[in-house]
Structure 1
Amino acid sequence: MDEENKIHEDIQSLKTTPDGIVLDPQPSDNPNDPLNWAPSRKALTLSIWTAACFISQVTVVTNMQGSYLQAPLYHKTATEISLSISLALIGLIVGAIIIVPLSRRYGACFCLFWSAIGLLLTSVWSALMTSSADYVPFLLSRLVAGLCAGVPLILGSEVVLQMFFLHQRGKSLHILHIPFLLGVALGPTIGGYINSQVSWTISFWYTLPLNGVLAAVILTFLEDTVLDMEGSQTQASVWQRRWKTYARGKALSRGASWTECSFILLDILLVGFSPVSVIIGLFLMIDFGFATMAIVLSVVFLEMPRDEGGYAMSKTAEASFTLIQTIGVLLAEVYGHFISDRLPLFLLRQRSKSTPSPAWHPEDRLHCLWLPVIILPIGLGLFGASLQYHLHWAVLAFGYLFISFGAMSIFPVAMTYLCECFPGQISEVAAAMGFWRLVLGLLTTVFITQWRESVGPGWVFGTAALLTIPAFGGVIGLMGFGKWVRGFSLGRKARE
């Protein structure tokens, strides 16, 4: 009886929301704990990281539709110019891995600020590559831009989990991821409109003020979300904290040593190839990879002459068409806002009817994937059929919209699930998933032309649509046996 009373007292002592939801994790009594920050301070911090996600992607993909304009200048084919996009993707993958140990040594805010400065400088570098001998330097500028552009999403995911409670994370991570994906969608559109009217270099110059203002906002308003147990940060003046955080990289009371940084790289490898990560990674690789393939190929078919199976659109019309991707991303944001936390909490309440005080299951979040994984293959099928039979551009647009909505809705849900599987290694998870998410989209540039010429676009995208079905089969397995699979997780913190 005494034991039951003790358990009851422990439950009563837990901190809850006004609605009675038990806070997980339980915040400390320290007012400087990011979990205890005022909602306005949390909103400001999230807004800055969100803006950084958007601006970084707009900057790195701004010239995606400019390949045909640069080809005569460098005496290269449009395909050779499009290598700049492939190198940017490589930069995103490698940069995501490198930045995790650097953030543990110098702090997340330090890395974010200097990545914004790096993007600003690479835009200047790219815009100045106007000589016929500047082909290789131009490609290198886009590689460096990719290295800088992955920082906001990788480190921002960890920031979200440091500020928000379990029942708020789904929506908060969706808020972070969707502007990142919106930048991927809107950057080429803005660049396309610019390229249709003025020099392609302007599509780089216009990103300078975006990154400049972002760097100023970071420097002025952004605070680290790592709890300062010693209080040294809060006792210092504002300018001392800024100097310590952004100039010296000393925001953390004890930054990681270079030896510890090497172990962090090992953790990224172990987390990325844990069984649960492999299942989700293969799912993302296939679904997001084929969606990326459709988005990249759409530029080719929209500009291709009609007698070659294309739609012969002007640069302006092509840019307007790619706005459909932006609409798909916005619909994904609406879907995630209303579903990402509500559906898992609903499933938890349903279990509470039969089980007193039921445990939280991260796998409940995976049920948010049902609608996107149905919409995505339909979109791929419509897209392929439109190209194969040269259907009206409106049919192609519907397929494009479904692809955008499906792919953009899948990524935040999958990331939220994995972040809860590895709560102590959020940045490692984000870096590993960056590899899984982008690797197929990168590889398709190698074989897609030969594949399309061999079987036609209908079979290419029809096959892609069919492959998304078995890819989701592994996720369905996690819905039923996820707790067991998580027991085999690798990594030092995962085993503790």
Structure 2
Amino acid sequence: MSENNKESQLEIKPTTPSSSDHGPTSPELEKEAVQDGIVLIPKPLDDPRDPLNWPFRKKCVILATLSIALFAGYAAPFCGQLNLIQQSKLYHKTVVEITYFNSAASAGLAAGGWFFSPLAHKFGRSAVVFYALLGCLAAQIWAPLMTGKGDYWSYWASRLVAGFFGMVCSVLGPRYLVDMFFLHQRGRVFTIFHLALNFGASAGPTFSGFIARNNYWTIEYWWSVALLGVAAICVLLFLEETTFDRTPGAVNMSPPKNYLANRIQTFFPFLPGNTVVKATTLKETIRVAILPFKIAISPVVLLIAGFDAISFGFYVALNALTPVWLQKPKIAGGYGFDVTDNAAFTFVHWFGFLFGLVYGQLVSDRLPLWLASRKGGAWKPEYRLHALWFTNLFLMPIGLGLVGASLQYNLHFMVFALGHFFVTIGSMVSIPVTVNYIAECFRSHTIEATIPVNSMRLFLGLSINFYATEWVAKVNIGWFYGMMAFFTVFAFFFLMILMFWGHKIRQWTPFGLGSDEEGQHVVEGKSVNHHAV
């Protein structure tokens, strides 16, 4: 299929856009709301400002910009993950205590979203993304300057700050995606977007390991400074606000048509009369800041967060502790790798991401649409979760078991690598699926709903370093990972509860905050083999 043909299938223009500020969908739009057997949900308005009507190339540029920013933001906090020995000698700490820096980064990743949501409501999402990237860049300059013997906690704080600012796109990005793409496209778009998250967290240590292999550890940070600068420039040049209210009678903002004026208005909202979002009061901003806490107690969020905390948390813990096992001498039960060997080993994650990307592109939309077609074409958000049976109930537990067996019985490092490969696939596939699911359960509060899920997902991973040694001492290294494998199987039951009783559980959402697209007719006919891609 040619590029133009692909674009014509994706860019579905329901009618010739008009300059009207608001109004109900036109009759012509209603007639053209089906493309190749797929109903367009949500139905775009007859308005060129509606992001659903934007040209597909423009959507792809914004997706690429967000992905670059997400990659840079998640690579930065983990740049120093592999160079344990040099820092251990510098700060006079044990190797395990050096891994606490990874916990600091994870704590920052967990905390940032709670602050960025009200700021985005006040100043616009794009401006918050831009200045957060600059904050992360400053933290990356701060870290390699901490070369004194007493700088342990200052360096620790730099990792916390890098995580705090670096995670901005992981909570604000999903809202861009649901604003620009139709329901039948979101599974693949979320997979591409979250590839940047996983790839960044893995590529940071990989690149830094090769850069610093024959040098002092401070050199491994400067490439990320350059990358964050490039990401910030891309955001400044290409990112646009996608806020658009499709409620009948709503009045939406009209950004300047002049490119330079548009950039100034978008990224300097603190200037008088300069805003791309509707004016808001302090009371309304405080209400938005409180919303994530209200959503956090929703049963559907707690179940998804419980699954993510265990499955993704163990993936984070696996990455944080693996350098310890790889660089431990063979006589002590490790593999005797140096920093360069360790960096090369992380390529196994890249293969896992590639497999997860292909799997997500093939399954994350097609399987839910196929399930909907079997139910008369009606949509349920829970159809998304069925994509995880193979990756998270089968591959991930087996992967953790292989990791434990490799360390317990001194198996070849390729067995250890195969375990990492399986666990990486589970992580790569599960995050976009669960975030997409939560976004579709809280369509009116996408950002606020992803914040508690993002934070709870990291709690286990950021804390496990502090008690890993005691855990291993009580069981042994094999059962340390073996227990993780059984816990991931247990966590999958949270998803099964939602698969079977999700409709009822979503009705228990407090404060009337839930809003979804259940029951809407998404599939015309019984075949989804030729739906728009």
Which TM class, normalised by the smaller chain length? over 0.9
Which one of 319, 322, 327 corresponds to residue 343 of structure 2?
319
1:83 aligns with 2:103: no
Q: Is the 8 A contact 1:88 1:144 kept in 2?
A: yes
C-alpha distance in 2, partners of 1:64/1:256? 42
Which one of 358, 367, 372 corresponds to residue 334 of structure 1?
358
1:145 aligns with 2:162: yes
C-alpha distance in 1, partners of 2:30/2:348? 50
Q: Which secondary structure does the structure 2 equivalent of 1:31 belong to?
A: coil
Per the alignment, residue 413 of structure 1 pairs with: 433
TM-score w.r.t. the length of structure 1 is 0.93
TM-score w.r.t. the length of structure 2 is 0.87
- Shift of residue 75, structure 1, vs aligned partner: 2.5
Per the alignment, residue 6 of structure 1 pairs with: none
1:380 aligns with 2:388: no
Q: Pairwise mapping of residues 160-175 of structure 1 onto structure 2 (< 5 A)?
A: 160-175=177-192
Question: Aligned letter for 1:444?
Answer: I
C-alpha distance in 2, partners of 1:495/1:415? 15
Q: Pairwise mapping of residues 45-444 of structure 1 onto structure 2 (< 5 A)?
A: 45-227=62-244, 233-235=254-256, 237-249=258-270, 250-352=274-376, 358-373=377-392, 374-444=394-464
C-alpha distance in 1, partners of 2:151/2:402? 40
- Shift of residue 494, structure 1, vs aligned partner: 2.4
Q: C-alpha deviations, 1:128-171, integer Å up to 9, x for none?
A: 22222322221211111111011011100010001011111111
Q: Is the 8 A contact 2:396 2:422 kept in 1?
A: yes
Q: Which secondary structure does the structure 2 equivalent of 1:224 belong to?
A: coil
- Shift of residue 37, structure 1, vs aligned partner: 0.1
C-alpha distance in 2, partners of 1:46/1:243? 21
Q: Which secondary structure does the structure 2 equivalent of 1:259 belong to?
A: helix
Q: C-alpha deviations, 1:40-70, integer Å up to 9, x for none?
A: 0001011100111111111111111123211
- Cα–Cα, structure 1 residues 231 and 444, in superposed 2: closer, same or farther, change >3 Å? closer
C-alpha distance in 1, partners of 2:512/2:85? 49
- Shift of residue 259, structure 1, vs aligned partner: 2.2
- Shift of residue 470, structure 1, vs aligned partner: 2.0
Q: Is the 8 A contact 2:293 2:452 kept in 1?
A: yes
- Shift of residue 236, structure 1, vs aligned partner: 5.1
- Shift of residue 172, structure 1, vs aligned partner: 0.9
- Shift of residue 406, structure 1, vs aligned partner: 1.2
Question: Aligned letter for 1:386?
Answer: S
Per the alignment, residue 521 of structure 2 pairs with: none
Q: Is the 8 A contact 1:267 1:491 kept in 2?
A: no
- Shift of residue 428, structure 1, vs aligned partner: 1.2
Q: Is the 8 A contact 2:96 2:324 kept in 1?
A: no
Q: Which secondary structure does the structure 1 equivalent of 2:61 belong to?
A: helix
- Structure 1, unpaired ranges of 5+: 1-8, 353-357
Q: C-alpha deviations, 1:192-246, integer Å up to 9, x for none?
A: 1122122211111111211111111211222111138767643453222212221
C-alpha distance in 2, partners of 1:256/1:336? 38
Per the alignment, residue 5 of structure 1 pairs with: none
C-alpha distance in 1, partners of 2:109/2:312? 15
C-alpha distance in 2, partners of 1:412/1:227? 23
- Cα–Cα, structure 1 residues 426 and 201, in superposed 2: closer, same or farther, change >3 Å? same
C-alpha distance in 1, partners of 2:328/2:66? 38
Q: Is the 8 A contact 1:89 1:442 kept in 2?
A: yes
Per the alignment, residue 3 of structure 1 pairs with: none
More divergent stretch after superposition (228-237 vs 457-466): 228-237
- Shift of residue 248, structure 1, vs aligned partner: 2.5
Q: Is the 8 A contact 2:127 2:266 kept in 1?
A: yes
Q: C-alpha deviations, 1:363-406, integer Å up to 9, x for none?
A: 11111011111100000101100101111111111111111111
- Shift of residue 491, structure 1, vs aligned partner: 4.1
C-alpha distance in 1, partners of 2:301/2:86? 41
Q: Which secondary structure does the structure 2 equivalent of 1:218 belong to?
A: helix
C-alpha distance in 1, partners of 2:99/2:291? 33
- Shift of residue 490, structure 1, vs aligned partner: 2.3
Q: Is the 8 A contact 2:102 2:320 kept in 1?
A: no
More divergent stretch after superposition (15-24 vs 269-278): 15-24
- Structure 2, unpaired ranges of 5+: 1-25, 517-533
C-alpha distance in 2, partners of 1:257/1:79? 47
Q: Is the 8 A contact 1:195 1:203 kept in 2?
A: yes
C-alpha distance in 2, partners of 1:277/1:252? 30
- Shift of residue 478, structure 1, vs aligned partner: 1.2
C-alpha distance in 2, partners of 1:91/1:171? 28
Q: Which secondary structure does the structure 2 equivalent of 1:28 belong to?
A: coil
- Shift of residue 443, structure 1, vs aligned partner: 1.7
Question: Aligned letter for 1:204?
Answer: Y
- Shift of residue 30, structure 1, vs aligned partner: 0.7
Aligned length: 483
Per the alignment, residue 519 of structure 2 pairs with: none
Q: C-alpha deviations, 1:166-202, integer Å up to 9, x for none?
A: 1111111111111111111111111111221222111
- Shift of residue 280, structure 1, vs aligned partner: 1.1
Per the alignment, residue 494 of structure 2 pairs with: 474
Q: Alignment identity in percent?
A: 36
C-alpha distance in 2, partners of 1:252/1:364? 35
Q: Is the 8 A contact 1:14 1:26 kept in 2?
A: no
- Shift of residue 16, structure 1, vs aligned partner: 2.1
Q: Is the 8 A contact 1:364 1:479 kept in 2?
A: yes
C-alpha distance in 1, partners of 2:515/2:357? 34
Q: Which secondary structure does the structure 2 equivalent of 1:197 belong to?
A: coil
